[in-house]
Structure 1
């Protein structure tokens, strides 16, 4: 598109938007702040701050200037950012006639318009039921052996020809394989590999400007989504045939469950909803877990005391396993990994995998004395309550003990939100816990390691990752060996 035409479109659009803006009486008492440049808003500066892992500073600069409720424009839409516990409760706890989980255009088009985060009513209940069945402890218990064996196999395969594990890429590969095989029942390794490549491209487009222009991240993401769909449709048709012929049942995997729901509710569920929620759950189930696992390795490498404590806890469990006929981990073993999970919880407090997220205003509303017009976005941010002195004692200090059951200070609702909150909170938090704990158990009991780049820092891409991929040099460990 010629530059002068693009400029003309922006100017005309800005003029029309300004006229509409002035006509709406709800715009008379908006929060303070700036909508930035036409169409682009403040998206560039927000994404640049995220890339440098300075998202909290970006938010705090505006909070200091405008207060805990301020306006901006992000991802192509006017946005009200609200920080604090009461703000989290308002955004995450509001009814669907006030706020809905309408994501920015980039996320809703990559994930699909029927993704679970944006569904409401009967459709939401049916899809959530199909998905959450496989995320409950009763289902997870039956999958632990498969997850255990898959993780062990991936570690052994990765270290068979080299002593360097590129942690970030390995954890993404691991969590994607677990999601594909355990959650969705996809066993074809070539198909899993091709899907993994396209999901990596699609995910980069989620936090980008919604400009479908040749070469831009969004353009690449949309094409990756098309390839994902092309590969998925034959899988769906084969599973539908298997369901009808009785070769599988609805409890076999999530895809089978979604297809079964569609077959029983043809009037409200269509194939597009199956595709969209496959894409959505695949993004949600593997990338956030890969982040947490990478950060766990990074933290253990940086703080020997944490590594030692985790190692001792896992070795006690390993000793019990060695005395059993079946040497795989069990549900009971995982429940004993209390300290390891507290470290994970504290990591998610200080470095939330999801910085924040959006809701869409479906009718004119207000918060803290300010008007928020229909059609605008609201944005919640985890960091502000996670680092609030009134909620967490010495919040900058890394202290896993604050998550002990008998902790000295209980955590109030909507203050600790790594998995969101309200009715649209993450349904996969228990699956993430199991996946994380099994992986860390295998790593610390099978290997010693050291950082290739000891001074590696965290950056957001847009999720928080070690900036150089966190390569580690590993050596096999005997189960009787102690940490040096």
Structure 2
């Protein structure tokens, strides 16, 4: 109730002022913008959009407006007028237009929590510089050195969390696992600091897709406070890591924080602390929840689809069977053999995309399909516009992992977007793949389980998760081959 009271007060005040505000707003409406409704002043249609997302009905919310206004329509979300552009050509326009016209500038909530200098906000040479530095750690040649470490971490977390438990909530488990993975592999954060930062990161992430209402008690207010505590805690770690780099005690590929600290600009100068802290928070949030989402959905799918489950199990047991007796941990080569498991993950990301869509911003007046998009307006692409298009994916409602195997009909560019597209393709896609496959490998070989609520649906918070947290009954697999 503490969180709801300020919002209710604001809502009443907003409605009271709506008439007067509309008088002013109507005088300055730009011409020839897409059809649609901007909803209430300030709030716009944010509440109905978030409500639909919570029920995993965001695609229905879009379809209703597409049927009324067409594949290009206007609304207002997160405090800003927004143009939705649906379809493959629309995705290409939004994600492929140069940054000086349509920029990565995000809504106020994302800017405040992730930072104005995070990778998703940067453009031009600065974006290229930061992305290039990060890729030195995230490229496959570097990640293959961390497979054994990731495998050991997964086993440790599973043993710790599942020991003597007959029932567990998978979503909670996967969030803990992905958090530990980010702390351990990506940033080399010690265990004590991990515990301190955990709740703050959860609070900050919840604030990203909240309304930009900075009243005490609101999600946005709490998120900003959490971010400030994270920054305060990470600065001393940065200073220590910087000293270790200068002494040669570690190198730039030791972890992602060291990568960022080692970057030099065109003048040979290091990055400001603000840029590093912004990108630390961005990478932490991005790596944590997206991975936890995919791994939770994988267990959800395997619980509900016996055919898929048995094919996945067979693949992993064959990998164990062929394993060199002298090699205890997973290897990079074995990760590459998990082809069917990854196709299941790809098909899951098509049918239940972790990222529903994304905001960008018009920095100049521009146009699309004959409509004007005014400077300052947000532009939004949505993955469901192509993921469920029968002209792109045959029988899109059918779950068919084989569609990603030796495709006779290649998927058109800007049509399959779980990791974005073009220059805005997610830099962590390979990290997510290795983390997911390592986790599923250990899960299926070590345990048997059954879903306690077979009718459990998906909800978006804003990432898609099983609505009840996916409680399962679990037991060690008989004669499992874990060491």
- Bucket of the pairwise TM-score, normalised by the shorter protein: over 0.9
- Matched with 1:324 is 325
Taking a change above 3 Å as real, the CA distance of residues 376 and 268 of structure 1, as seen in their structure-2 partners, is farther
- Matched with 1:168 is 171
Alignment partner for residue 238 of structure 2, among 236, 239, 246? 236
- Matched with 2:426 is 426
Deviation for aligned residue 1:334 = 0.7
- Matched with 1:312 is 314
Deviation for aligned residue 1:335 = 0.7
- Deviation readout 1:99-120 (Å, 9 max, x if unpaired): 1111111111100000101111
- 1:206-221 to structure 2, matched below 5 A, reads 206-221=208-223
- Matched with 1:435 is 435
Cα distance in 1 between the residues matched to 2:141 and 2:479: 30
Q: TM-score, normalised by structure 2?
A: 0.94
* SS in structure 2 of the partner of residue 28 of structure 1: coil
Q: CA contact under 8 A between 2:18 and 2:40: conserved in structure 1?
A: no
Deviation for aligned residue 1:122 = 2.5
* SS in structure 2 of the partner of residue 70 of structure 1: strand
- Matched with 1:284 is 286
- Matched with 2:378 is 377
Cα distance in 2 between the residues matched to 1:195 and 1:59: 36
- Matched with 2:353 is 352
Cα distance in 1 between the residues matched to 2:308 and 2:252: 42
- Deviation readout 1:42-73 (Å, 9 max, x if unpaired): 00100011011110000000000000000000
Q: CA contact under 8 A between 1:10 and 1:39: conserved in structure 2?
A: no
- Matched with 2:399 is 398
* SS in structure 2 of the partner of residue 418 of structure 1: coil
Deviation for aligned residue 1:9 = 7.1
Q: CA contact under 8 A between 2:366 and 2:375: conserved in structure 1?
A: yes
Alignment partner for residue 100 of structure 1, among 95, 99, 103? 103
Cα distance in 1 between the residues matched to 2:167 and 2:196: 24
Deviation for aligned residue 1:319 = 1.2
- Deviation readout 1:240-280 (Å, 9 max, x if unpaired): 11112221111211101111215996757310000000110
- Matched with 1:335 is 336
Cα distance in 2 between the residues matched to 1:107 and 1:228: 16
Structure 1, 366-375 or 259-268: larger mean CA deviation = 259-268
Structure 1, 308-317 or 227-236: larger mean CA deviation = 227-236
CA RMSD in angstroms, aligned pairs only: 1.9
- 1:29-178 to structure 2, matched below 5 A, reads 29-178=32-181
Structure 1, 343-352 or 158-167: larger mean CA deviation = 158-167
Taking a change above 3 Å as real, the CA distance of residues 233 and 28 of structure 1, as seen in their structure-2 partners, is same
List alignment gaps of at least 5 residues for structure 1. none
Structure 1, 407-416 or 436-445: larger mean CA deviation = 407-416
- Deviation readout 1:365-417 (Å, 9 max, x if unpaired): 11011110111010000011000010111000000000002x23221111111
Cα distance in 1 between the residues matched to 2:160 and 2:50: 36
Q: TM-score, normalised by structure 1?
A: 0.94
- Matched with 1:364 is 365
Deviation for aligned residue 1:11 = 6.4
Cα distance in 1 between the residues matched to 2:117 and 2:215: 24
* SS in structure 1 of the partner of residue 263 of structure 2: helix
Taking a change above 3 Å as real, the CA distance of residues 112 and 11 of structure 1, as seen in their structure-2 partners, is farther
Q: CA contact under 8 A between 2:263 and 2:270: conserved in structure 1?
A: no
Cα distance in 1 between the residues matched to 2:14 and 2:364: 32
- Matched with 2:3 is none
Q: CA contact under 8 A between 2:242 and 2:258: conserved in structure 1?
A: yes
- Deviation readout 1:264-323 (Å, 9 max, x if unpaired): 9675731000000011011111101110100000000001111100000000001122x3
Aligned length in residues? 473
